[in-house]
Structure 1
Amino acid sequence: MKRTIFSSAAIVAAAGLLTCSASVLAADRGAPATRTNAVTDTYGDISVKDSYRWLEKQGDPQVHQWSVAQDKRTRKYFDGLALRKPLFDALMGLISASSSSYYDLHTAGDKIFAMYNQPPKQQPMIAVLGNAADPAQAKIVLDPNAINTKGTTAIDWFVPSPDGSKLAVSMSDNGSEDGSVHIIDVATGKQIDKVIPLVQYPTGGGSVAWKSDGSGFWYTRYPDASQPADRQHFYEQIYFHKLGDDPAKDSYVLGKDFPKVAEIALESHHGYVVASVANGDGGEFAHYVIAEDGSVKQVSRFEDKIVAATIGTDQAMYLVSRKDAPRGKLLKLGMADLDLSKAKVIVPESEAVIQQGGEFGGSPVVVTKDAVYVREIVGGPSRVAIFDHEGKPRGTLPLPDVAAVDEIEALNDGSLLYSVKTYLTPPYYARYDEKSGKSATSKLAQTSPVSYDDTEVIREFATSKDGTKIPLSIVRRKGTKLDGSNPVLLNGYGGFSVNQTPKFLAPATRLWLDAGGVFVIANLRGGGEFGEEWHTKGSLTFKQNVFDDFAASAQYLIDQKYTSSEHLAAIGGSNGGLLMGAVLTQHPGLFKAVVSQVGIYDMLRVELDPNGAFNTTEYGSVKNPEQLKALYAYSPYHHVQDGTKYPAIFMATGETDGRVNPMHSRKMIARLQAATTGKPVYLSINSHAGHGIGSSLSIKANQTADVYAFLFDQLGMKFQPKK
């Protein structure tokens, strides 16, 4: 390999890694002593030493003992905070007083199915409603709280049969997202047929698409335990299951030629199934159509830059293309001849970005017999454009200012239900009548004890290092004084083309505002808010732009007198956790406190984990010289410097996390505790939680209480619960 980065001596010096094989007292006094045992890795002709490799060994008794000691120390800290319990009590009170909510709608026949959340129950359920979408007539079909009274069994996703008589449901335990599919009879709520294992995992996800007569379904399947370990959680393929058959004898359909990191999503449309196959997490897709007879036709390849596809009632395929159109254009192709070269552009690229999918997956394009609805985004807020079947504009769906739409569900009575989310009002579904063109709030509307009547959201722009304007959504109480003294919490993500769109602010944000805080969301590069170019300028060898954007956002808030470094905190999770690790190592004096949840920190070893291999199309690989150079240049773990005054840091992870290996948090915390001359560095490890998806309500509430108790304490904020 060509030498592309610093000498081995420079790397070791920059990383400041300890190399002795002994227990070393942390510079962070009070932290558990952590032994070091250096291991050397070679990348081409350079060497990198890792003194905490032993902390990667999940299940090792010594790692477990270390983790328990860390968590015990963290719990002692929180137990000693007088405000921790009142904060938790206030949060649970607000959550419990919130109304039930519905989301992830699916229409089947004359029924509407939805995920149903009813605080203070630990897990969401599946409910069925009539076409009127009246919660008063809702019936619970499946309740995981009854299946597991501990609240640790979660529904990953579900798909109803076309006539609405059955549900295919993936369920998993302890936040693992390691799901098997259960077939549920809607009338009785009982399980029928055999459980199908290996359908869902956090690496490539999982999916089901029913045959139109409901006799069976296509589904995703991972290799079983008989296959080599390096194949498990990879090489996802498509199989067909006929109800009543032994799943072990289900027939293979497609996928042997897919990439190792394929992520498959299946959707049924008017007698066809669209199979969307992602090449890992970098935004490349291929699309296939499966006919009722099981025949398969490939429509697009990765290089075609088709990012979404659906089939309309007019027997035509609608495809979102980003080829020579980074913001997206809409193509139409007849089902009689699925030759992509014959597709015609019906909606050209515009200033708005056609989205790739919603919060709950699915195509951003919904086709009814009368119109085509396209979800678009402009820098964060979104809208829904309406066209006829040939692309002639018909306006937009009615929305409030600065709103987002994640779901559009066409009903069989000529109307649509679409979700509406804003920062300051509880979410609701609006019903749009195609004939009249009128929209009204449906009965599927959430209520909350939290009011933001005294709050405003303003949009301002920071200027990044290279001159790029970075949008900021600043949530503040009306009349907030810009005197540099406000506690500010800055949130960011910046990756995987994920959009930071408006959504109703959590109860914890209300408590933050009441204590004099300001909450800010930064739309960083790496997201999809301004199209594929915005995404690519924050991925692979351009990833440093994301960290520069966030640092510039923080500096803007200081310069504009919203806050100062003594009153500024940062928070992020997952890819946003990587962001936290990068900014605290690159700008240790910029923040007073940093919260990083389920983060990635060792960028030289991330691809060795199953989900990390999927991330190489977003982050890059150490096997590529230029990407290795970029990865090492910002890898947080390798840039912790001894004797540095780091901010107060709180990291949290879950032992069952299948998306980000918890070893990243263990190693990063150990390294920071050894190096810092600043505030304490805390780690919380939950044995019944994963990446946060599927965690019980009590776990989520306790984790949130920890975060805000830490922030209140470190920023010197007072909490006074309302009576």
Structure 2
Amino acid sequence: MPNLLRPALLAASLLVGALPMTQALAADDPYTWMEEIEGARALDWARAENARSLPRLQQDARYAGLYEQARAIATAPDRIPGVAFAGGDRLRDFWQDATHVRGLWRETDLAGYRSGAPAWRTILDVDALAKAEGANWVFAGADCLEPDARLCLVSLSDGGKDAVTVREFDAREGRFVEGGFRLPEGKHRFDWIDRDTLLVVTALSPSESTVSGYPFIARLLKRGQTLAQAREVFRGERRDGGYGVSGQVFRDAAGRVEAVVLDRPIDTFSSEHHLLLGDRTVKLGLPLRSTVQALSAGRLVVSLEADWPETGMKAGDLVDFDLAAVSRAPQALRPDLVLRPTESQSVEQVATTRDRLVIGLLDNVRGRVLSLRRTATGWTSETLPLPADSTLTVTSASKDSNRLMVGASAYLSPTSQWLADAADGSTDRLRGLPPRFDASNMVVEQNWAVSKDGTRIPYSVVRRKDAPMDGSNPTLLYAYGGFLVSQTPAYAATPGKLWVEKGGIYVVANIRGGGEFGPRWHNAGLKLDRMRVYDDFFAVSEDLVRRGYTSQRRLGIMGGSNGGLLMGVALTKRPELYNAVVIQVPLFDMIRYTQIGAGASWVGEYGDPAVPAEREMLMSYSPYQNLKAGQPYPTVFIETSTKDDRVHPAHARKAAARLKALGYEYIYYENIDGGHAAAANLNERAVRQALEYTYLMQRLMD
């Protein structure tokens, strides 16, 4: 799930009255034993399914070539490094290739990087670490203390799980700090206060985790203390939804702490916001549907995901507050407007440099980057000169200068990397990805389908120019449709090479539930309105057939996580529309989902099966409960990962088991590692992609 990646309190019935209901559900479900994530019986079942399914794909003559092409793209030495500012002119990057499939964390300087021939210094070799420790380590990031970024908290995941082990690391010396900060495996939230103090949100026992498995107690941990000795500064409640308490530490260019904000999520999209003042916290008078985004020029910048009627502010607005006034009167907040997007726009990113507030804006699913400067009369704004008709992503912002790293991408244009200065407005192209497929005979089109309620839904089509419009084209439709996550144009390296080059059409739908047009686009598909998301997807599917791009015989669909749920709904609601369905790491049992893995944290998105009206809606589309005998289901491909501690593999396992019991053909792949991405390293990613496209060719091209 996204950040996935925060809005209604878990109903009291979920906590007080849920036990009889869940017991009844378990009694009616013969596959609840699959919910033991690494239970011997479940793993034996998964291995047997892999042994049955994988030869069907891997013995296809096309599989080996697809794997090599996918692996070549994933491990190409001429990929663009994902560099980030690390104090002064230093840049850091996490790099994976054919030799270092787990990856190298490394460093260079800006001058060397700009020259095109940087001298990289390895900070940490994760392949070597995994070998030395006999562990299946996946690098999950490093949080470094500004401004010099020498002391870092390195997160290591076992096989790709969300839960991580955290160790303090000296990036200058290239070694773990002896006797340094260390957190055992868990779903922690943490940040530096100073070199001897951490803000840590973690669970010392199961009772300190929410019903969805996230910690809700914040502590200040001093160097040399155990977690049990750390001083508690804030706590939520066990019944809280969402992703647990989290904290943000805002600093000035010199690294001094200006403010610490703690968020207590009430459910998936609603949070209380608290300001840490010394040894105490005060609650801020912000609406629950809001997100504290940044601190710039002494102003606390907040995005609104719902209207704030008493102030006149609207959902989608970016507003700010004087930090000194917030500290004096935290409940009496009056916002000033920073930016109000139009109906076609959405604020996608908010970042800060030393002197500027930076906004990544979507306009009709195309990107712009704005640089804002605070004056005596408010904010002034300019658009940075970056590639048009592209997705623009601020990948790093320097706190001790005004420099930005920006990625630019479009479906047929290889990704480029830009160095921008938010103060003087200059931009400089640093890198360009070499083409991964021949796009000379390809075109991108944006079309609009009309959903059941009359809403126009945009979608993008990537195809060969000579593709006949007679319904004969093998077509892959991808969508997500949830959690305010936007599907924006991105260089189609893998689908371009493995699919479009070979005569297929690739389509991305911008259905509701996403964030392409701001909170209104997301809010339109929440809870009792969930069918709008699926109606949008069916409308795009039908429009592809109506326009002659494809036909049912040649139309396949793919989606993961929340998108995997979408695939399950499409399978059970409209099986006659599709001949191939790739269901990646899905949600599937929406009646028991709050009892499985981190499911209770998503009640704000889907609704609560303990609330009768919401349960009725969930039951109407829950794929697991709606699988029936005698339906025209195509042979589906279901894939998951044993290490996925976010969307539990039981969803995929139970889907396959029920299809089998009903007598349907299906293909199942469970990666024993891989986490929520279903791939723990580059080789595993290539395997997954080769399996998917082999399946799609068998179903849609043969």
Normalised to the residue count of structure 1, the TM-score between the two structures is: 0.85
Amino acid at match of 1:467: G
Higher helix share: 2
Which residue number in structure 1 is paired with residue 15 of structure 2?
none
Which residue number in structure 2 is paired with residue 334 of structure 1?
323
Query: 1:374/1:219 Cα in 2 relative to 1: closer, same or farther (>3 Å)?
Result: same
1:394 maps to which of 382, 386, 389: 382
Which residue number in structure 2 is paired with residue 122 of structure 1?
101
Rounded Cα–Cα distance in structure 2 between residues aligned with 1:185 and 1:310:
27
CA contact (8 A) 2:211 2:238 kept: no
CA contact (8 A) 1:78 1:84 kept: yes
CA contact (8 A) 2:416 2:429 kept: yes
Deviations 1:484-515 (A, max 9, x none): 11110000110111111222223243120121
Deviations 1:585-643 (A, max 9, x none): 00111101100011011110000024101011111111111111110010101111111
Q: CA deviation at 1:694?
A: 6.5
Q: CA deviation at 1:133?
A: 7.0
Amino acid at match of 1:421: S
Query: 1:316/1:436 Cα in 2 relative to 1: closer, same or farther (>3 Å)?
Result: closer
Aligned-partner SS, 2:576: coil
- Alignment gaps of 5+ in structure 2: 1-18, 308-313
* 2:506 matches 1:527: no
Rounded Cα–Cα distance in structure 2 between residues aligned with 1:259 and 1:179:
23
Which residue number in structure 2 is paired with residue 374 of structure 1?
359
Rounded Cα–Cα distance in structure 1 between residues aligned with 2:324 and 2:318:
19
- Alignment gaps of 5+ in structure 1: 1-39, 359-363, 718-723
Rounded Cα–Cα distance in structure 2 between residues aligned with 1:208 and 1:669:
38
Query: 1:130/1:273 Cα in 2 relative to 1: closer, same or farther (>3 Å)?
Result: farther
Which residue number in structure 1 is paired with residue 291 of structure 2?
307
Rounded Cα–Cα distance in structure 1 between residues aligned with 2:22 and 2:412:
50
Rounded Cα–Cα distance in structure 1 between residues aligned with 2:549 and 2:245:
42
Which residue number in structure 2 is paired with residue 26 of structure 1?
none
Rounded Cα–Cα distance in structure 1 between residues aligned with 2:64 and 2:26:
48
Amino acid at match of 2:156: M
Which residue number in structure 1 is paired with residue 4 of structure 2?
none
Please identify, of 163-172 and 230-239, the stretch whose mean Cα deviation from structure 2 is larger. Answer: 230-239
1:243 maps to which of 223, 227, 230: 223
Q: CA deviation at 1:110?
A: 4.5
Rounded Cα–Cα distance in structure 1 between residues aligned with 2:394 and 2:264:
20
Q: CA deviation at 1:199?
A: 6.8
Query: 1:251/1:397 Cα in 2 relative to 1: closer, same or farther (>3 Å)?
Result: farther
CA contact (8 A) 1:267 1:275 kept: yes
Deviations 1:638-675 (A, max 9, x none): 11111112112000111121111111111111222333
Query: 1:331/1:73 Cα in 2 relative to 1: closer, same or farther (>3 Å)?
Result: same
Rounded Cα–Cα distance in structure 1 between residues aligned with 2:209 and 2:281:
30
Which residue number in structure 2 is paired with residue 197 of structure 1?
183
1:637 maps to which of 621, 624, 632: 624
2:90 maps to which of 111, 115, 127: 111
* 2:34 matches 1:55: yes
Rounded Cα–Cα distance in structure 2 between residues aligned with 1:47 and 1:137:
58
Rounded Cα–Cα distance in structure 1 between residues aligned with 2:351 and 2:73:
36
Which residue number in structure 1 is paired with residue 643 of structure 2?
656
CA contact (8 A) 2:160 2:643 kept: yes
Aligned length: 660
Amino acid at match of 2:337: I
Alignment of 1:209-288 (within 5 A): 209-211=191-193, 213-224=194-205, 227=207, 233-257=213-237, 260-261=240-241, 262-270=244-252, 271-275=257-261, 277=263, 279=265, 282-288=268-274
Amino acid at match of 1:598: V
Alignment of 1:146-157 (within 5 A): 146-149=128-131, 152-157=136-141
Which residue number in structure 2 is paired with residue 168 of structure 1?
153
Rounded Cα–Cα distance in structure 2 between residues aligned with 1:455 and 1:151:
44
Q: CA deviation at 1:185?
A: 0.6
Query: 1:527/1:412 Cα in 2 relative to 1: closer, same or farther (>3 Å)?
Result: same
Amino acid at match of 2:199: W
CA contact (8 A) 1:219 1:266 kept: no
* 2:126 matches 1:140: no
Which residue number in structure 1 is paired with residue 3 of structure 2?
none
Query: 1:693/1:355 Cα in 2 relative to 1: closer, same or farther (>3 Å)?
Result: farther
Q: CA deviation at 1:97?
A: 3.0
Query: 1:232/1:519 Cα in 2 relative to 1: closer, same or farther (>3 Å)?
Result: closer
CA contact (8 A) 2:347 2:361 kept: no
Which residue number in structure 1 is paired with residue 310 of structure 2?
none
Rounded Cα–Cα distance in structure 2 between residues aligned with 1:404 and 1:610:
34
Alignment of 1:517-666 (within 5 A): 517-666=504-653
Alignment of 1:89-100 (within 5 A): 89-100=68-79
1:417 maps to which of 401, 405, 417: 405
Please identify, of 278-287 and 515-524, the stretch whose mean Cα deviation from structure 2 is larger. Answer: 278-287
2:675 maps to which of 690, 693, 712: 690
* 2:485 matches 1:502: no
Rounded Cα–Cα distance in structure 1 between residues aligned with 2:267 and 2:224:
35
Aligned-partner SS, 1:691: helix
CA contact (8 A) 1:653 1:684 kept: yes
Deviations 1:117-161 (A, max 9, x none): 334521243222334471603322122111114883112222111
CA contact (8 A) 2:102 2:138 kept: yes
